Amino acid sequence: GGVYAIAISSGPLIGGALAENVGWRWCFYINLPFQGIAFVLLFFFLNVHDPRTDIIKGLMAVDWLGSIAITGSVLMLLLGLQYGGEVYPWGSAIVVCLILFGVLVCGAFVGIEWKLARYPVLPLRLFTTRPIIALFVVDLTHGFLLYGTAYFVPFYFQVVVGATPVNSAVWSLPLAIPLALFTIGTGLYMRKTGKYLYMIIGGMAISTLGTGLLIDFGAETNWPKFIIYQLIIAVGLGPNFQAPTIALQARFPPADAGVAVSAASAIRALSAAFSIVLGGVILENRLSAYGGRLIAAGVSPEMADAIARNGAAGSVELVAQLTKAQQHVFRVAVKDSLADMWIFFVVLSGIGLIASFLVGNEILSDEHVEHKTGLGVEEANRLMHEKPRGQCGTSPTLVTPLLLLLGIRQGCAWKYRKRSNLSSTLPGPAYCAIGYFIIRFNGTVQ
């Protein structure tokens, strides 16, 4: 957690210097040598249990179908949200289809993990109790707040206040430095006391306050606000880098602790992507709504429309062609759009705060337990959690006959549609198929 906090804190400063002096592509090139060094160090010095799994068996055990489904679902949802209102109208076929099929494939992913995957990439058994679900919600909202502030605060400094990339990174240090310090401090506190609940609740409460204060950012330079507001939100975000992860490990047996932490990391990674996309959607759509201000300030409708299409970040050259007064109107419009966006993040943070009260407390163990990995261990763990047929929570005794009867009735209506008043367009065979699969997955009807 501390290493990650330091990395995300120092990244904007290094990235800003590279983007301003040698080009933005170097923000990606610079990762290559460090990744190579990390790979060499892991290869020679990482000392963990090696189950010596056969590579073919290992590849066959991977949940390929689930991985493809969740990847496709996320990509379609992100593209649909990104295109909506900017590249294509919200009601356009491509946006509607991307979002609709993204949701449908996400539902298919849940079905795959539930019934088909032998070793699911996201076991649904993880989401069984209220404290665990609450911890995942905290992780989700923390990811939204973390990446939202890390992206949009420097964005505000550059677009509204007029800072250079390097200056915006320097101005973000009141957020970056305390974030790393409080992350490390939280780890030391939990190690000493074995307690994490107050860190989670306090962190979400202060994060909600800090995110709300960002709404008050103005269109002019105001150093007290810049420093104090960022400091407050850093104090709130820091503790929840590690505390929810440690809480998850404490609530799972060693066999499931690893996959639970991996699931939390995946949720945080997804929240990072959706945070920036959803924040950008709100920002750009609100900016389009404020386009009338530019026209009232003397900007031509064509220029105002071009600025709205390109967005706040992509309109730098266009805005440079405006007069000083018109540029000020543009900056105020972006500031107000960001304020509307921060309200969305405050609501999310409030949801995380409510969830934090449902986490519950559990004293951390100071005993180190080594857990071995491998297909044999995974198979034993799978069999231990596998429920016998007929005990999956869906009773076929009542549901299946009703679906089969409904299938026969709808089948008649499908055949004799002209003489039927039924408005349903779902054919009878579909209901019969649903009934069959319930029998297939839940056991024989009693």
The answer to whether residue 112 is domain-embedded is: no
Phi, then psi, of 421 in degrees rounded to 5: -95, 0
Q: Are 6 and 234 in contact (CB under 8 A)?
A: no
Q: Which of 312, 333, 356 is the last residue of a domain?
A: 356
- Residue closest to 430 by CA, chosen among 414, 409, 407, 400: 407
Q: Supply 164's token pair.
A: 């250079």
The answer to whether residue 283 is domain-embedded is: yes
Same domain, 347 and 402: no
**What is the C-alpha separation between 119 and 66, in angstroms, rounded?**
10
> Quick one: CA dihedral 154, 157, 160, 162, positive or negative?
negative
The answer to whether residue 140 is domain-embedded is: yes
The answer to whether residue 43 is domain-embedded is: no
Domain membership of residue 420 as a residue range = 387-442
Same domain, 313 and 410: no
Q: Supply 232's token pair.
A: 């407050």
Q: Are 346 and 214 in contact (CB under 8 A)?
A: no
- Bridge-partner residues for 88, per DSSP? 84
For residue 130, give the CATH number of its domain. 1.20.1250.20
Query: Which pLDDT score, from 0 to 100, does residue 14 have?
Result: 83
Residues 6+ apart with CB under 8 A from 152: 279, 283, 338, 341
- Residue closest to 159 by CA, chosen among 350, 25, 320: 320
Query: Which pLDDT score, from 0 to 100, does residue 370 have?
Result: 62
The DSSP H or E segment spanning 205 is helix 197-214
The answer to whether residue 193 is domain-embedded is: yes
What does 184-197 look like in DSSP terms, one character per residue? HHHHHHHHHH---H
**What is the C-alpha separation between 309 and 87, in angstroms, rounded?**
8
Same domain, 239 and 334: yes
> Quick one: CA dihedral 334, 337, 343, 349, positive or negative?
negative
Q: pLDDT tens-digit profile of 141-184?
A: 999 999 999 899 999 998 899 888 888 888 988 988 888 889 88
Same domain, 410 and 318: no
Q: Are 307 and 316 in contact (CB under 8 A)?
A: no
Q: Which of 356, 377, 399 is the last residue of a domain?
A: 356
Same domain, 392 and 351: no
Task: Print pLDDT tens along the chain (446 aa).
Answer: 567 667 766 777 788 788 778 887 888 888 899 889 989 998 888 877 666 777 787 788 788 999 999 999 999 999 998 888 777 888 889 999 999 999 999 999 999 988 888 888 888 888 888 989 999 999 999 999 999 998 999 999 988 998 888 888 889 889 888 888 898 898 888 888 888 899 999 999 999 999 999 999 998 889 999 999 999 999 999 999 889 988 888 888 777 777 888 888 888 888 988 999 899 889 888 888 887 888 888 888 888 887 777 777 777 777 878 888 888 888 999 999 999 999 999 999 999 999 999 998 777 666 666 656 655 556 556 656 665 444 444 444 334 344 444 444 444 444 444 433 444 444 444 444 454 444 444 443 33
Q: pLDDT tens-digit profile of 209-223?
A: 999 999 999 988 899
Query: How many other CB atoms are found less than 10 A from the CB of residue 203?
Result: 27
Query: Which pLDDT score, from 0 to 100, does residue 399 have?
Result: 42
The answer to whether residue 278 is domain-embedded is: yes
Tally the domains of the chain: 2
Query: Which pLDDT score, from 0 to 100, does residue 382 have?
Result: 61
End-to-end CA distance of the chain: 52
Q: Which of 337, 356, 375 is the last residue of a domain?
A: 356
Same domain, 342 and 430: no
- Residue closest to 237 by CA, chosen among 177, 195, 277: 177
Which of left, alpha, beta for 440 (phi over 0: left; psi -120 to 50: alpha)?
alpha
Same domain, 152 and 296: yes
- 292-330 burial string, b = 16+ CB within 10 Å, else e? ebbeebebeeebbeebbebbbeebeebbeebeeebeebb
Same domain, 402 and 343: no
Q: Supply 439's token pair.
A: 């029998």
The answer to whether residue 59 is domain-embedded is: no
Same domain, 347 and 398: no
SS3 at position 84: strand
pTM assigned to the model: 0.76
Query: Which pLDDT score, from 0 to 100, does residue 169 have?
Result: 84
The answer to whether residue 172 is domain-embedded is: yes
Same domain, 340 and 402: no
Same domain, 333 and 413: no
Same domain, 214 and 289: yes
